[in-house]
Amino acid sequence: MRTRFSSNLPVESPPNPSTSNPKRRKRRRSKQPFILEESRIDTMADQRTMAELLRAPTEGYVEAVVVPPILAEQFELNHSLINMMTSDHFFGLEKDNPHDHNRWFNKITSTIKYKDVPNSVIKLMLFPFSLTGAVIYV
């Protein structure tokens, strides 16, 4: 660090001053002259905004969640099970934590077992009941 007093003292110069002092470096000049001309502006074929481009296409999709066929002869979700899912809704608000909701949902659904019904099918059937508000339609 240099102070006002130390700036008056002689400073040792480095052995090769052209490499360490940026003011003394020689700049290469390009051999090709720079021609400033108007470049033509190309218009894009797709005139959608970035928000529209980032949104997933929904045309042709009836529902996003498709439950695979169940091989069990008799299978029915209990009314009490659906009520349990609706007891802790996820609203999608700023204060709501989706990770906490998923942990709660996995904890509840991991306790449910039906013969010849995979647990993933039960989760796919019950998950819409754990959502409410605008989150359902996203």
CB–CB of 89/131 below 8 Å?
Answer: yes
For residue 119, being part of any structural domain is answered with: yes
For residue 98, being part of any structural domain is answered with: yes
For residue 57, being part of any structural domain is answered with: no
Instruction: Give the domain range for residue 135.
Output: 91-138
For residue 75, being part of any structural domain is answered with: no
For residue 96, being part of any structural domain is answered with: yes
* pTM given for the model: 0.49
For residue 121, being part of any structural domain is answered with: yes
Burial class of 59 by CB neighbour count within 10 A (0 to 12, 13 to 18, 19+) = exposed
Q: How many domains does the chain have?
A: 1
pLDDT in tens, the chain (138 residues): 556 655 565 656 556 555 555 566 666 666 777 677 777 777 778 888 888 888 877 777 666 667 888 888 888 888 888 888 888 888 888 888 989 999 999 999 999 888 889 999 999 888 888 888 767 665
For residue 127, being part of any structural domain is answered with: yes
Check residue 43 and give its pLDDT.
77
